[in-house]
Amino acid sequence: MKERNYLFDNLKALLIFCVVFSHFLRVGGHFGVCSPSRIIYIICFSFMMQGFFFVSGFFSKNLDKCRAKAFETFIIPYVVFMILCYFERYALFGIAHLYLYLPTHAMWFLLVMFYLRFGIKTLSKIPYILPLSALLYFLAGAIPFCGVEMAFGRACSFLVFFMLGYCCNWDHIKRLRNIPKKATILPIALLLAFSIWFGCQKQFDVELLLLKDSDAHLGIGFVEGLIARAVVVLVSLGWLGVCIVLLPDRKLPTKGGLITQIGQNTMTVFLLHVFVRQLIKWANRMELPILQPGGAIHVLLMLAVALACLYLFSRPPVVKAYDKAMAFLYKPFGKLYSIVVK
């Protein structure tokens, strides 16, 4: 039996760490210009979601399975966690709204993944789909309806990364990994320099990195939007290339493989960390003393909470309970959905 290649598991572990850590830093306060929180946030958001869509596309070669599992894997959790997040926001802040066409924080990912995994069977048949998706990426900012509603803006923007992963194979990955590790020193230095420079520019909005809104909503022109998207795609591909070259393809650590296991159980971490994020946001608004120190202390505190979430929410009992709950909720719709899809 061929030994499993753990490269993408390790990459997903890094990506989910970036998601959780950056989300906590954003809402924990101390996010001013040139702050460590802002710079780390920019580094993470430069490539983390692009990475997830690339990996998902890479493992979407089984077209029928992608379509068959899309509703259960993404739509059921989307509805359930939208409702749960609504109740938490209401309990913490006394006010909340529930509009299923307006995904709340992080839930947009489930919608976009549903579009892509359900649609890949059709998308894969379109000639020149990769360059077309790249063109859509650049034009999405100028399309008025490509905004936050139903996460259409992000669907148009992240499609190219999903299709890039789909069109990629292990031979392409091997070629990248044959690049000497020393060759990544200069790219890493340039990428870090960009993040630090960007983080210290008052006039630049970090919302540009999210790829969720139109240029008009961000207050920039068409040409500015094209330039911003060109920079984002270059930086994200740079970070992804560096990660693929540097990350090992074995279990991490060798004994137990805890990091690798986190990468194999990212969905529960992704969904459950949102509730902790809201608690941190509430604590910040309440000006609780624990969040008041800034600088390195604040970053270390958010790091500790992020690592705790990664560990707890990726444990097998949590994953098993989540899978059972989603399967139970999907059961009434399963037969009807299979009839409609067929």
Helix (H) or strand (E) holding 327: helix 316-341
Provide the pLDDT for residue 66: 96
What the block records as the tokens of 92 is 């913490």
Examine residue 277 and state whether it is found in any structural domain, yes or no: yes
Cβ contact 9:264 at 8 Å: yes
Secondary structure of 137-187 as H, E, C letters:
HHHHHHCCCCCCHHHHHHHHHHHHHHHHHHHCCHHHHHHHHCCCHHHHHHH
As a whole number of angstroms, the distance between CA 106 and CA 87 comes to: 16
As a whole number of angstroms, the distance between CA 42 and CA 59 comes to: 27
Q: Name the band, by pLDDT with cuts 50, 70 and 90, for residue 18.
A: very high
pLDDT above 70: residue 55 = yes
CA angle 26, 30, 186 (to 5 degrees): 70
Least confident of 71-85, 146-160, 222-236, 280-294: 280-294
Count the domains in the chain: 1
Examine residue 53 and state whether it is found in any structural domain, yes or no: yes
The boundaries of the domain holding residue 75 are 7-341
Examine residue 59 and state whether it is found in any structural domain, yes or no: yes
The rounded percent of the chain whose pLDDT value lies above 90 is 84
Examine residue 153 and state whether it is found in any structural domain, yes or no: yes
Examine residue 1 and state whether it is found in any structural domain, yes or no: no
pLDDT above 80: residue 316 = yes
Between 66 and 204, the higher pLDDT residue: 66
What is the tens place of the pLDDT at every residue in 26-53? Answer: 999 889 899 999 999 999 999 999 999 9
Quick check: helix, strand or coil at residue 282?
helix
The rounded percent of the chain whose pLDDT value lies above 70 is 97
Examine residue 2 and state whether it is found in any structural domain, yes or no: no
Least confident of 148-162, 172-186, 284-298, 317-331: 284-298
206 DSSP 8-state letter: G
Examine residue 282 and state whether it is found in any structural domain, yes or no: yes
pLDDT above 70: residue 340 = no
Average predicted confidence (pLDDT) for the chain: 94
Q: Name the band, by pLDDT with cuts 50, 70 and 90, for residue 336.
A: confident
226: Cα within 13 Å, side-chain hemisphere = 4
Q: Name the band, by pLDDT with cuts 50, 70 and 90, for residue 3.
A: low
Mean of the pLDDT values across residues 135-153?
Answer: 92
Provide the pLDDT for residue 1: 43
Mean of the pLDDT values across residues 177-192?
Answer: 97
Q: Name the band, by pLDDT with cuts 50, 70 and 90, for residue 337.
A: low
What is the tens place of the pLDDT at every residue in 239-256? Answer: 999 999 999 999 999 777
pTM of the predicted model, to two decimals? 0.96
Examine residue 301 and state whether it is found in any structural domain, yes or no: yes
